[in-house]
Each structure stands twice: as structure tokens, then as C-alpha cells.
Structure 1
Amino acid sequence: MLYAFQPGTRGLQRLGQESPMSPGSELERALWIDLYRPLDSQAAAVAALGIEVPTLADMEEIEISNRLYREENADVMTVVLPGLTPDGAQISGPVSFILTERRLVTVRHHAPRSFETFPDRADRSAAGCASAERIFLGLIEEIIARQADLLEGVGRTLDRVSAQVLSGKKISPSELQLALEEVGRQGELVGRVKLALLTLERALSFFDQTLGTNPQGKELRSIVKSQMRDIGSLTVHGDFLSSRVSLSVDATLGMINLAQNVTVRIVSVVAALFMPPTMIASIYGMNFHHMPELDNPWGYPLALGLMAASAVGTWAFFKWKDWL
């Protein structure tokens, strides 16, 4: 899909509100062109403006030289952001920002939430939306805010899981398994957010180097520095949440081990209770010719009494030792 935006009375106004932009639409007056899973015809329409659209394979290259470079008066910056696939799965995928003097072009193959919320709030960002550079910085600000929201959500989830696991109440093994799975998902999310912050920091550092000849470079550079500080703070927060994830995993696994130990102890005690009666029954089950108790009328009740007494005695001993 191809979406084109220009500044409106409030935020950014999408050109062609009725439907996504078609390749034949007028794109010259758009300050921001957003390509989401672009068709070949849509990529060609943007290429007609003098902007080469990178392929997904190009965007997935991990070398810095392939993610941050300048080509034909256009700065190309690729970051990795968490988002949704068309079928709703959570992934981290590359997003390319192609910045020229006249417009910003973004290319993505998944759906980070920030791209949906930014147009209506573009004019409220610190940079505004009067130029391509300001739209870029405003979009980066929205993305950083989204990562902060994700980290706060992780913190709330870990609070809930920790309160459940460490409440001192009896928790079933299935509930502990669900808690462990939830903590694992939150750990994966923290990892995706930290990767996004790392790539955003690199992109902003690259953009800051291009502001030397910009007439508004001093003002834009102060915004970049503010965003870099935000990224640094969120990185520290992400490290803190990573340690909390590890603690939650250890606590949950510890509770699972305790529950398993209780089960094993019960089985061991039950087996120990039946050991003396089994030994007595085994003795009188032997086929020796001379066993005087077999000929006595009190032999059978005596054997039953001995088995019952040995089981009760074993149980009393375990109770005295506080093993039950």
C-alpha cells in the first residue's frame, strides 16, 4: 500500500482519504510517503520521483554500511522495530527512512503501531511537521514513545506475575506453567524493544551528522539530543526489566521445583509406609517347610497386626520428624 501525507489543519492529512494512494496519484506535493508492503507499481511511482525504494532483502542486511548511507542526495536509515505481521503475529522487522530535502519516504513490511498513531499527532511533536526533517524527527519521537509504552506494559505484567507466584498461596502446576510462558513472552518483547532502541540511536547519530549544512541544524540538533537522552533512559529501563525477567523466571522455576519436590516427597513417604508391611508379607510368603506360625491359629491375625503396626509406626516416626 502507498500512503501520502501533507501538513493539514491538524497533524498530517492523507492524500486520497477514500482509499490508499495509487501509483497514478499526484505525489509531488506529499511531504511523507509511507510504503507498506509496496507493490512493484507503487515502488516504481516513488522511483519516478528520483527515490529508489530498497527491497526487503536490502533492508534486512545487518551491516551498518547497508543500513545507514547517503545516496544521490538522500539519506537512507534502516532501523528494526517491533510490530505486527498481516496475520497478527508479533515480530521485529526492518523499516527504512529515506530522507531528501523535499520529502520523507518510509518503507516497511510489517505494521509498527507508531505509523498508525503519528499522522493525527504530528503537529504536537517537538519538531512539528513543516518539513521532511521535522516529520522524520516527529515520527522518531512517536516511535520512542511507543517503546516506552511497551516497556511500561512489560513492567505491569511482571508485577502481576510476580505477585501471583510469590503470593504464598498454593498455585497449581498449570498456573505456574502459564506464568512462566507469560514471563518468557515479556522477555522476548524487552529484547525486541532494546534492539529497536539500539538501531534508533544509530540512525539518529547518522542523521545528526547530516545537519551541519542545514539552516535549521541548531534547532533540529537540540531535538536529536533530547531524543538520544530519551533512548538512553529507556535502554537503562530495558536493562532493569531484563533483570526482572530473569528474577521472575528463577522464582517461577523455583516454585515449580518446590511443587515437584512436594509430590516426590509424598510418593516417597507412601512407598516408605508400605515397606515394613511388604517385608512382613514377603517373609510369610516364603515356602520354607519349617515355619511354626503357619500351623498356629493365631498366625494370620498376628501377621496382619504386625503389618498394620509397622505402617502406623512408620507414619508416627515421619510425623515426629516433621516429614509429613
Structure 2
Amino acid sequence: MLNVFTLANGRLFQEEIESADALADVQPVWVDLENPTAEEKGWIASRFGLVIPDDIVDDDIEESARFYEEDNGELHIRSDFLVDEDAGPDRKGARNVRVAFILRDNVLFSVHVIDLPVFRLLRMRARRIPALIEDAKDVLLKLYDADAEYSADSLEGIYDALEKVSTRVLQKEVTDADAAEILAAIARQEDLNGRIRRNVMDTRRALSFMMRSRLLNAEQFEESRQILRDIDSLDSHTAFLFDKINFLMDATVGFININQNRIIKIFSVASVALLPPTLIASIYGMNFRAMPELDWSLGYPFALALMLASVVTPFWYFRRKGWL
């Protein structure tokens, strides 16, 4: 899918391009390619002279090749954007999606495989807020700003999810089935928190590269610094959430160990309590010269009473000690 965005009175206007002729009639500030076809890449090459390689958004690209500037002034940036789909109907989970940006002749080209929430958020804001964007570099900065805000919203979602987990862990007895559900929920939030931390780190690197490239004017440079300050404020939240996740994980594992110890204690008490009657039965089963059941009519009742007393006495003692 090929979408172009033009500026009019400080507002972005979107137009979906379905032919090379339609692309030739526009003067875009932003060209967005979502999972582009070879034909659409050909339209870009013919109209702007920009060749988009097939592996431009591959994840195995070298780290050193993610931010660089060509001799002709083209600025190449590859950034990861967060997609949190765990709350949606499909529940695909959180992931980081690679996006390739090329800044050429004051036109921003973006290439990605799926539509991203950050891109939708920017399109909505640019239509509603006048004078939000003035050039292609503003588009890129606003995308990173929206990405930081989207990461903050995801962190708030983690806070809410962990609050529910804390209620289950700390306010009632946790069974093994509950513990399994809690551990699964904690693992999902830990994965999301880690992806958010990676995402903001990547955004920080991209902004730092743009600031070092000296392509930003004074206002854009200050905006980049403000975005970096917002990102720095998120680091403390991710660190706190990691600590809280570890605490809930340890507490849940502790409840699992308590449940297992209860089972082991039952078997231990039963084995100790049944050892005396087993010993008595073994003694009475030996071949004595004077058999109790032959020489003494109360031999069997006495043996059974002795065995019962040897069972009741340990249980009474264990309960008095609080071991049961």
C-alpha cells in the first residue's frame, strides 16, 4: 500500500496512490509504504529516483548500518516501533516492528510491513491540529514523539495488569492453578516491559543521530531534547516495573513451595505416625514359643489397642506442637 501526505495550511492530507500517474501529480512531504509491492517501488524509483531494496526492513541488518548519511545527503534511519496487540481480539502479543526511514530532498519515505499504531496516531493528530508539521523532519520527530507517548501508555497498562496480579497474590491463598495463571500473566508483562525498554533505547539512538547530523533547526533540536527527556523519565518506570515483576514472581514461587511443603509434610507426619503400629504388628507377627492368641485370650485386642494408641499419640503430640 502506497500513501502520500501533502501539507496544506499546516495540516497533513492523505491520499492513497494506485497508479504512477497519480503519484506524478502530487508534491508530498511524506511517502508511506506499507508492505510495498515491486510495482509500487518502481513508481517511487521513477518519480523520485529512489531505489528501495527488498531487504530494507530485515531484522538481521548490522547495527552499524541502521543510522547513516549518504554522500548525496540522503539520511537513512532504521528504527523499531512497539506494537502491543495483547489487548486486542487476536491477542498476538507485544512485538517490535522495524521501520526504515529515508530523508531525501525534504521528503520522508517510510517503509514497514504492517500499519503501526504510532503512524495512525500521527495521522489523526496532523489532521486535527493545525501547524503541527512544517516539513519532512517534523514528520519524523512527531513519529518519535508519538512513539514515546505510546510506550508510556503501554507502561500504564503494565501497572494496571500488575495491580490485578498483586491483588490475587497478596490477598488470598494461591493454589497451584492460580499460580500457573499468575506466572503466565507476569511473564507477559515482563516481555512487554522489556520490549518497551528496547523500543525507547532505539528511539533515543535515532534522535541522538539526528541531533548529531546537524540537519535540525533550533526549534526541532529543542523538540528532540524534550523527547529525550520524556524517554529518560520512562527508564525509571521500566526499572521499577522490573523490580515489581521480580517481587511478584518470587512471591508466587514462594506460594508454590508452600503448597508443595504442605503435601510433603502430610506424608512425613503419616510415615512417622504409622511407624510405631508397624513395629508392633511386626513384633506380634513373630513366631514366639508362647503365642499371645493361644496363651492369652486378650492378646489380639491388646495388640490392636496398642497399635491404635501408638497412632493417636503422635498425631496428638504433633497437633499440640502446631505441626499439623
Shorter-chain TM-score tier:
0.7 to 0.9
Change in Cα spacing, 1:125 to 1:88, as seen in structure 2 (3 Å) is farther
* 2:293 counterpart residue number: 294
Deviation at residue 13 of structure 1 after TM alignment:
2.6
Identity of aligned residues (%): 31
Counterpart of 1:64 in structure 2 is 63
Of stretches 132-141 and 36-45 in structure 1, the one that deviates more from structure 2 is 36-45
Tell me whether 1:197 sits opposite 2:200 in the alignment: yes
- Give the gaps of 5 or more residues in structure 1: none
Contact kept, 8 Å, 2:30 with 2:107, in 1: the verdict is yes
Partner of 2:167: 163
Q: Which moved more, 1:220-229 or 1:99-108?
A: 99-108
Contact 2:82 2:147 in 1 (8 A): no
Q: With structure 2 as the length reference, what TM-score do the two structures score? A: 0.88
| Cα contact 2:23–2:43 (8 A) shared by 1 | no
The superposition leaves residues 156-211 of structure 1 with CA deviations (integer Å, 9 ceiling, x where unpaired) of 211221222112x2121111111111111111111111111111111001111233
Shift of 1:82: 2.4
Structure 1 residue aligned with 2:306: 306
- 1:14 partner SS: strand
> Which ranges of 4 or more aligned residues in structure 1 deviate by more than 6 Å?
84-87, 124-127
SS of residue paired to 1:26: helix
Given the alignment, which residue of 26, 29, 38 partners 2:27? 29
Q: Distance in 1 between matches of 2:103 and 2:233?
A: 27
- Tell me which amino acid in the other structure corresponds to 2:240: F
Within a 5 Å distance, the mapping from 1:171-210 to structure 2 comes to 171-210=174-213
Distance 1:266 1:10 in 2: 75
Query: Equivalent residue of 1:247, what SS?
Result: helix
Kept in 2, the 8 Å contact 1:187–1:242? The answer is: yes
Deviation at residue 266 of structure 1 after TM alignment: 1.9
Moved more, 27-36 or 293-302: 27-36
Establish whether residue 134 from structure 1 lines up as the match of residue 138 from structure 2. yes
Tell whether the 8 Å contact from 2:11 to 2:131 is kept in structure 1 after alignment.
no
Amino acid in the other structure paired with 1:43: K
In the alignment, is the contact (CA less than 8 A) between 1:125 and 1:138 conserved in 2? no
TM superposition shift of 1:123: 5.7
Select which of 99, 104, 107 maps to 1:100. Answer: 104
Q: Which whole-Å CA distance do the structure 2 matches of 1:126 and 1:313 have between them?
A: 86
1:127–1:223: 8 Å Cα contact kept in structure 2?
A: no
Deviations 1:218-251 (A, max 9, x none): 0110100000111111122111211211111111
1:280 and 2:280 aligned: yes
Q: Is the 8 A contact 1:36 1:107 kept in 2?
A: yes
State the partner residue of 2:157. 153
**More moved, 61-70 vs 179-188:** 61-70
Q: Aligned ranges for residues 218-233 of structure 1 at < 5 Å? A: 218-233=218-233
Contact 1:58–1:66 (CA<8 Å) still a contact in 2? no
With 101-110 and 306-315 compared, the bigger mean Cα shift is at 101-110
Task: Tell me the secondary structure at the aligned position of residue 289 of structure 2.
Answer: coil
Structure 1 residue 68 displacement after superposition: 0.1
2-structure distance, mates of 1:39, 1:162: 48
* 8 Å CA contact 2:9, 2:131 repeated in 1: no
**CA, structure 1 residues 123+237, in 2 after alignment: closer, same or farther (shift >3 Å)?**
farther
- Sort the Cα spacing of 1:127 and 1:162 in 2 relative to 1 into closer, same or farther, 3 A: farther
Superposition deviation, residue 84 in structure 1: 6.4
CA apart distance, 1:127: 8.0
Distance 2:179 2:19 in 1: 53
| Alpha-carbon distance in structure 2 between the residues aligned to 1:11 and 1:323 | 74
Map residues 104-123 of structure 1 onto 2, 5 A cutoff: 104-122=108-126
Structure 1 Cα separation of the partners of residues 130 and 144 of structure 2: 11
Give distance in 2, aligned partners of 1:15 and 1:149. Answer: 29
User: Aligned partners of 1:84 and 1:223: how far apart in 2?
Assistant: 26
Distance 2:142 2:129 in 1: 5
Q: Distance in 1 between matches of 2:95 and 2:125?
A: 25
Tell me how far 1:125 sits from its aligned partner: 7.4
Give 1:10 deviation, angstroms: 8.8
Cα distance 1:102–1:291, how it changes in 2: closer, same or farther (>3 A)?
Answer: farther
Provide the rounded CA distance (Å) in 1 between the counterparts of 2:317 and 2:33.
Answer: 76
